[in-house]
Amino acid sequence: MRKTVITGLVLLMALLLAACGSTEKSLSEAATENTVITKTQNMNSQEAEQNVMIPKEIEKIPDGYFKGSEQPGTLKDLYYDTYESFSYDKKSEKIKKHAVVYLPYGYNKNQKYDVFYLMHGGWGDETRTLGTPGNPSSFKNVIDHAIAAGEIKPLIIVCPTYNNTNEHGLDSGNFSLAMQLTRNYHNELLNDLIPAVEGTYSTYVASTSAEDLIASRDHRGFGGFSMGSVATWRTFQYGLDYFHYFLPMSCGTTLDDKEIFAAAEGHDPDDYFVFVMTGTNDFAYSYDEARTNLMRTSAYFTDVDEKADGNFAYRVKKGYSHDGTAAMEYTYNGMKAFWSGKSKSQKEQQEVRSVLGKGQSYKAFTADTRIEDVIQDSAFGNFGRLLFPADKGYYSGDTLGKLSLTWYSNINPDRTVEIANYLKERVLSGDTVFYDIYSDEEKAQDPDKKDTGLFFFRGNKGAKTAIVNAGGGFVFVGAMQDSFPHALELSKKGYNAFALIYRPGAQTACEDLARAIAFLHENADELGIDMQDYSLWGGSAGARMAAWLGSYGTESFGEKRYPRPAAVIMQYTGLSEVTGKEPPTFACVGTNDGIASYKTMEDRINRIKANGTDAEIKVFQGLSHGFGLGEGTVAEGWINDAIKFWEKHITE
């Protein structure tokens, strides 16, 4: 890399040198009033450390979740070849099977997704749980809402069936037949279904070889209700090498439990996690109780209620029976536990969280936290001052919840708090979140360069990259409204996003953006990012920077020539010039913007289109300048349209 002061790394080293408690201890101390956090680890995985968030009680699905979502996922039909269940070893009778696949809203082939294989109950089929592409179920709506709310990470869900598709084994009310089919199902699952799914959709597998499927097991789970729970335990017995998470719900029958548990013998206890759920009025309750008690006597299972880093949990819902309500609620809770998204709720942001270092904990920032306390927080070292405008005359309000920025509107206090906590947690977890783009020598020659740098909002390793530039009239940088929120959302979609802090002044700002582009190209491998077909984003003055670099290139602002962006995303700026060299351009603005005329922006987009370049504009009725993500306004969700526009111009 260029010679830099990598503040986050320096801070991490200091924390580690000061540490007096183990990582495991810190994680165990992170148990909160509502949630047990346990660390699970798979030594075969490149991403070995994960958190499982187990609720103390099974939570009810919010009533509104059963209605359609404004961010709906997509159901797909998947057909694949396999063999008749009872003669699978001979492979004498080839059959075609069907599964229903759920892709989350905004699914992107350049993003990697975890996969949950979800089996139906007895006398059902693959369409029972989520429905079909033409007829989705209400539970599909639940998943849509939970992902949109940040309760569950965007992931792929696969609904298969253990049934055969011919006369040799349809589960049409025959319990003993269903038991045989679930016992045999692992052959089809491991050899045919998983390769078909993960060879088609974007997951964490390098290939569909058995070796690579096993290596990616930390990103895969299997669950089911009733007879689907039987299939889950059989998958644990025969497919533990391929799965990390297991969700057996209301398993109302006896199984070869000791034989199943023996499958764990060749694995470290951190290699798997099992979450068992049932209801007190469920006929399966006595079976699940007995099996759970047996698990507690096994050397391979430890209850999280007894030890914070345990590998199984057992929850019982009072009064619940063996029915569809229970099945949906258990599944919802299990998915939240295994693939928890970043909560946006104020309550959860205030919870005590685990940190590395001395084994201590800290209170998260809240809306009542003083801005100056955030700036001075030791986690941020010398770059805390750059979270807010360096010239304090351009913002007001003494707390995060009262932050106001000159020329900006619709600032969301919850988002401000989330960003501050996100960055602090990243630093305390050992990640570098801030990079200098100029060397010490360059900053000594030009002291103004000390107030520059890139905040890194990490997405998936090797994913495409966006550079986001806040506005501020070229006199300050309004990052907390105009670039940090965008970068955080892009990272949640899997993209790597950088928010640039630059020197005031149109020329110096563009020079800093050119340097940032050069820095990221030169250090892409070390940073784990893909700079091919990168995008430039900006609002107000930041939008002009993005447009100018897109049209004139880095070579016009003091750097050597680097590739132009695949797309430029612009918000509320009255730039009128068109050179004919513009990259594909997406723009948005409000009709009540007294600084950037929406008519000027519409005219520019039309002239870009007239030159044969793809361009698009969104005009939002009634909005004023600086609405950022537009949360809670008519513009909310515009960023998803902008991402789709960029994706159209990604070549690979």
The Cα 435–Cα 438 span in angstroms is 9
The Cα 201–Cα 223 span in angstroms is 20
Is it the case that residue 228 has pLDDT exceeding 80? yes
In this structure, of 67-71, 126-130, 161-165, 172-176, the range with the lowest mean pLDDT score is 172-176
The Cα 346–Cα 343 span in angstroms is 9
Q: Which pLDDT score is estimated for 618?
A: 97
Are the beta carbons of 650 and 566 closer than 8 angstroms?
Answer: yes
Q: Which amino acid is at 333?
A: N
Phi, psi of 499, deg, nearest 5 = -100, 120
Are the beta carbons of 587 and 570 closer than 8 angstroms?
Answer: yes
Please, which pLDDT band fits residue 171 given cuts at 50, 70 and 90?
low
The Cα 363–Cα 120 span in angstroms is 42
Q: Which of 261, 293, 259, 292 is nearest to 276 (CA)?
A: 292
Q: Which pLDDT score is estimated for 429?
A: 72
Summarised one tens digit per residue, pLDDT across range 68-126 is: 988 899 999 999 999 988 889 899 889 999 999 999 998 988 889 999 999 999 878 99
Please, which pLDDT band fits residue 213 given cuts at 50, 70 and 90?
very high
Mean predicted lDDT score pLDDT of the chain: 87
Q: Which of 309, 291, 311 is nearest to 301 (CA)?
A: 311
Q: Which pLDDT score is estimated for 427?
A: 84
Q: Which of 411, 387, 388 is nearest to 401 (CA)?
A: 411
Is it the case that residue 170 has pLDDT exceeding 70? no
The token pair at 61 is: 């699905």
Please, which pLDDT band fits residue 226 given cuts at 50, 70 and 90?
very high
Summarised one tens digit per residue, pLDDT across range 7-48 is: 333 333 333 333 333 333 222 222 333 456 554 443 333 333
Q: Which pLDDT score is estimated for 250?
A: 96
Interval 520-545 mean pLDDT? 96
The Cα 305–Cα 313 span in angstroms is 7
**To 10 degrees, the CA torsion angle through 251, 119, 153, 213?**
110
Percent of the chain predicted with pLDDT > 70: 87
Contacts of 384 (CB under 8 A, 6+ apart): 374, 375, 376, 377
Q: Which pLDDT score is estimated for 148?
A: 86
Is it the case that residue 431 has pLDDT exceeding 50? yes
In this structure, of 220-234, 320-334, 355-369, 391-405, the range with the lowest mean pLDDT score is 355-369
Q: Which pLDDT score is estimated for 314?
A: 97
Q: Which pLDDT score is estimated for 404?
A: 93
Are the beta carbons of 232 and 186 closer than 8 angstroms?
Answer: no
Are the beta carbons of 93 and 84 closer than 8 angstroms?
Answer: yes
Name the pTM for this structure. Answer: 0.53
Q: Which pLDDT score is estimated for 149?
A: 83
**To 10 degrees, the CA torsion angle through 108, 109, 110, 116?**
80
Q: Which of 23, 28, 48 is nearest to 38 (CA)?
A: 28
Q: Which pLDDT score is estimated for 489?
A: 95
Interval 580-608 mean pLDDT? 96
Domains and CATH numbers, the chain: 35-337 (3.40.50.1820), 433-648 (3.40.50.1820)
Q: Which pLDDT score is estimated for 457?
A: 96
Q: Please provide the size of the chain in residues.
A: 652
The Cα 229–Cα 222 span in angstroms is 9
